[in-house]
Copies of this chain bind each other. A is one copy, B any other.
Amino acid sequence: MTLDQQPLPSARDRLLTAAGELFYVRGINATGIDAVVERAGVALATLYKQFGGKDRLVAAYLEERDHRWRADWEAAIATTTDPRQRVVAIFDALERWWGTEGCYRGCAQVDAAVEITDAEHPAIAAITRHKTHLRQRLTELTREAGAAEPEQTAADIVVIYEGTITALLLQLVPEPLQRARRLTTELLPTDNRR
């Protein structure tokens, strides 16, 4: 067996990890570059060498979050073969994230969109990619679940999904995840194979 030698993460990865923790919990504008560098245990010049500046570090942070969410969604979807359950699985992924994270601050992409008002900021494109992917993936899943209009049903579910994220953040309603699963299920055709 090979030794499980930890490859000790590169300076770039350590920066990305530190940025992820700080930007998400404290906010992007409220987090200074020095705090990221200190938490990563890395020299300031390395940050500029790797990312060129804060803006592109923020964009890279959101890209990384996007990749993790896509993986989490797919993992949740893969737990079942029932086409209707596979649609609802995005809320299982959301529940896992909500329960795991030390501090829940909603969707990192939405938070960034609120904080960043400059349309030219490189993070904006990353946010759009993340949300577009979710809508497209839900369209596939609702089609496989037999929806008459998969695009429309997927759009409905996107609204419920975003509302659930906000409801979790602000604790607006009791049991938002149960609620979201029920609302979503009601949008899908009933299983009439039997």
Chain A residues at the B interface, C-beta cutoff of 8 Å: 25-27, 29-30, 105-106, 110-111, 113-115, 117, 127-128, 131, 135, 155-156, 158-167, 169-170, 172-174, 176, 179-180, 183, 186
**Contact check: which of B115, B156, B167, B180 meets A114 at CB < 8 Å?**
B115
Beyond A26-B117, A156-B173, list 15 extra A-B contacts (CB 8 Å): A25-B117, A105-B117, A110-B170, A113-B170, A128-B170, A135-B173, A155-B173, A159-B163, A159-B167, A160-B160, A162-B162, A162-B166, A163-B163, A166-B166, A186-B186
Given A114-B115, A169-B113, A173-B135, are A183 and B156 also a contact pair (CB < 8 Å)? yes
Given A29-B27, A114-B27, are A163 and B172 also a contact pair (CB < 8 Å)? no
Q: Give the CA-CA distance A172 to B127 in the complex, in Å.
A: 11
* Chain B residues whose C-beta falls within 8 Å of the C-beta of A26 in the assembled complex: 117
- 9 A-B pairs with CB atoms under 8 Å apart are A29-B29, A135-B173, A156-B173, A158-B167, A158-B172, A159-B172, A160-B163, A161-B163, A162-B172
Residue of A114, A176, A180 with most chain B CB atoms under a 10 A cut-off: A114
* Chain B residues whose C-beta falls within 8 Å of the C-beta of A111 in the assembled complex: 114
Smallest Cβ distance from A120 to chain B, in angstroms? 15
CB-based contact A106/B117 at 8 Å: no
Q: Give the CA-CA distance A156 to B177 in the complex, in Å.
A: 11
* Nearest 8 pairs of A and B residues by beta carbon: A163-B163, A155-B173, A159-B163, A162-B166, A162-B163, A29-B29, A114-B114, A111-B114
**Contact check: which of B159, B172, B183 meets A164 at CB < 8 Å?**
B159
Q: Give the CA-CA distance A161 to B183 in the complex, in Å.
A: 13
* Chain B residues whose C-beta falls within 8 Å of the C-beta of A155 in the assembled complex: 172-174, 179
CB-based contact B170/A131 at 8 Å: yes
* Chain B residues whose C-beta falls within 8 Å of the C-beta of A156 in the assembled complex: 173, 179, 183
